[in-house]
Structure 1
């Protein structure tokens, strides 16, 4: 996620800001240009202009500005009242479910980050209203009102809004022995399922996929029953520490369940890495010793993979991030191990994304790993 600056006072702006914290200017985000800045009145009282946008486009606010805390803009000639992110949501809590609406706003905030990243990567995403067969839709449902299972089915991504509740999410994370659990992580995982047939099957990479991830034609239900019926999952104390055999082959314990889940977990982790490095680079984060040498040593056997420089930058960045996190008494902020096999899987995702999406505008810089720059 790149940083932004207020065109009025120069204050740094963050992606979710709707108002500059220094000069109190109203802000808006234009998804087509990926630009966040001050919005000003135009000659037409029914429309707004975005400072620094450079397109001359006239906008209006997304209709979910209040309900979903949405700061995105909609071109005035667009017949839709919702922005391109909010309109992908086809199910939400009703207005009487006040607690669920708070959780809904949190989920929409995470989804906007997801959609921004997909756009920046050049990965096409279209709603089911435009393409019922190949489009995507998000259903944000409250488990207070019905039984809800977070998952993906035929382009429909369902999220149990209780995942937005910190206490509930932490309890589930502990019970399942997971090192990491967030709403954004859920959405990145489920969108990985959505892109699997497009990036793998449609592009003719099924055989290569099976060599790395396994045969996806094995029964998913049997794999699900075996995974949750074994009772042998990692405990919260050991998850992500390298004390289980699965860390040698998978990015998470859940990824061992089925090749589809292995792909979705790897795809989500790839998005984590790209987002983290984009943010670090945008804020001028530079690595020095001993992080440089440590990250090089960790990747010594995989210098030939195309994702290598990115992973090397990430390993160095997370080394510093974890050390700082422990200094604050919060433990490892990044509790994952990237084994050689996992790096190969990340490289597979990286190559397929680049192949389908073409040149990427926000390619994470790896110059932080050049000693001469330190």
Structure 2
């Protein structure tokens, strides 16, 4: 994520900021050019400090779940991120509102990243090949699960409950379980259908790297939950679950590719440098580039590894879990490089 600043006083702002803590001006994110706009709260209309142009907040701003803005003359009252919502929780339940807010923070960060990659995000409500989100409570339907199907990403509301999510993480034996992780994983399934499946040459290359996805998915998952991951799984996979089926390997690898890209972009905009008192040169990094414009994925991963080690070390000093508790092996780098090449390929845009 890039670093934002107030258009009135230049104070730094978070991506989720609704106002500047220094001068009090209201703030809103403009997705067109990834700019944070600010507005004088004394004015009844949102007129940007920098440009003097009128905007309006996304309709979901009313619920404090979205700080994005759209041009005042825009016919649609929802921003590009909120237009992807097909189902939101029942807001008559106050607990649901707070969970929805958590979901929207993660989803808006996901949309920011996908847009920066240049990926097209049509709403499924207007395009049958598009994408949409269902944020739902399981209630009496015990078969309802978090997942993806034909462009519909379903996220159970319980995932936005930190206590229940941690219980699920421990029960599943997972080192990491977050809302942004879920969203990045599930959207990976959607983009496999869009980016890989239609292209014969890419599909052949995918099968060489990830395996043949034509093997029965249900049978493969049942076998995984019965026997678990193979002993040597860390040699070629980013997680145990990635071993269950090539589709899941792709989705897990895709999610971690997005993790690393976000990590390195943030490090770049903060001017981070890792230069420890250690003889190993591979533990040094100075991120002087935006990864979204970098052709070499090797350069990206060489920056991500020292950064993640440094941040993990800081977390351990504070007695909290690692930010990134994963090992990026050579097999995973090869898979991520395949994904990065897709993002750089003009034929997909």
Q: What TM-score, normalized to structure 2?
A: 0.90
> CA, structure 1 residues 40+356, in 2 after alignment: closer, same or farther (shift >3 Å)?
farther
Give 1:34's aligned residue. Answer: 34
In structure 2, C-alpha distance between the alignment counterparts of 1:2 and 1:249, rounded to whole Å: 31
Post-superposition Cα deviations, 1:9-29, rounded to whole Å, max 9, x if no partner, equal 221111001011111211111
Gapped regions of structure 1 (runs ≥ 5): 235-243, 298-304, 360-374
**CA offset at residue 333 of structure 1?**
2.2
Contact residue 85 and residue 111 of structure 1 kept, 8 A: yes
1:291 and 1:320 in contact (8 A); partners too: no
Match for 2:161 among 161, 165, 170?
165
Relative distance call for 1:198 and 1:291 in structure 2 (3 A) is farther
Q: 1:182 aligns with which of 170, 173, 178?
A: 178
User: 1-side partners of 2:64 and 2:74: how far apart?
Assistant: 20
| Equivalent in 310, 320, 334 of residue 330 of structure 1 | 320
Alignment match, 1:140:
135
Q: Is the 8 A contact 1:62 1:83 kept in 2?
A: yes
Cα 1:349–1:181 change in 2 (3 A) is same
Q: 2:274 aligns with which of 283, 287, 303?
A: 287
Look up the match of 1:364. Answer: none
How far has the Cα of 1:357 moved from its partner?
Answer: 7.6
| CA offsets 1:204-234 (integer angstroms, 9 cap, x no match) | 300100011000011011012112223x469
Residue from 68, 82, 85 that aligns with 1:86? 82
TM-score, structure 1 as length reference? 0.85
Task: State the Cα distance separating 1:323 from its structure 2 match.
Answer: 1.3
Distance 1:292 1:198, change over 3 A: farther
Residue 71 (structure 1) aligns with: 67
* Deviation readout 1:151-186 (Å, 9 max, x if unpaired): 000000000011111110011111111111001110
Write the deviation string for residues 258-305 of structure 1: whole angstroms up to 9, x where unpaired: 1001001111101000101111111111121438713479xxxxxxx9
Describe the shift of the 1:192–1:10 C-alpha distance in structure 2 as closer, same or farther (beyond 3 A). Answer: same
Number of residues of Structure 1 aligned to a counterpart in Structure 2:
337
**Counterpart Cα distance in 1 of 2:26 and 2:95:** 27
Point out where structure 2 has 5 or more consecutive residues left out of the alignment: 286-294
What's 1:226 paired with?
223
1:116 paired with 2:112, answer yes
For residues 49 and 118 of structure 1, the distance between their equivalents in structure 2, rounded to whole angstroms, comes to 28
| Residues in 2 aligned to 1:122 and 1:312: alpha-carbon distance in whole angstroms | 23
Structure 2 partner of 1:50: 48
* C-alpha distance in structure 1 between counterparts of 2:214 and 2:42, whole Å: 56
Distance 2:180 2:268 in 1: 21
**Distance apart, 1:310 and its partner CA:** 0.3
1:344 maps to which of 329, 334, 337: 334
Of 284, 302, 309, 1:312 maps to: 302
Match in the other structure for 1:22: 22
Q: Distance in 2 between matches of 1:123 and 1:292?
A: 37
Deviation at 1:66, TM superposition (A): 3.0
In the TM superposition, residue 85 of structure 1 has moved relative to its aligned partner by 0.7
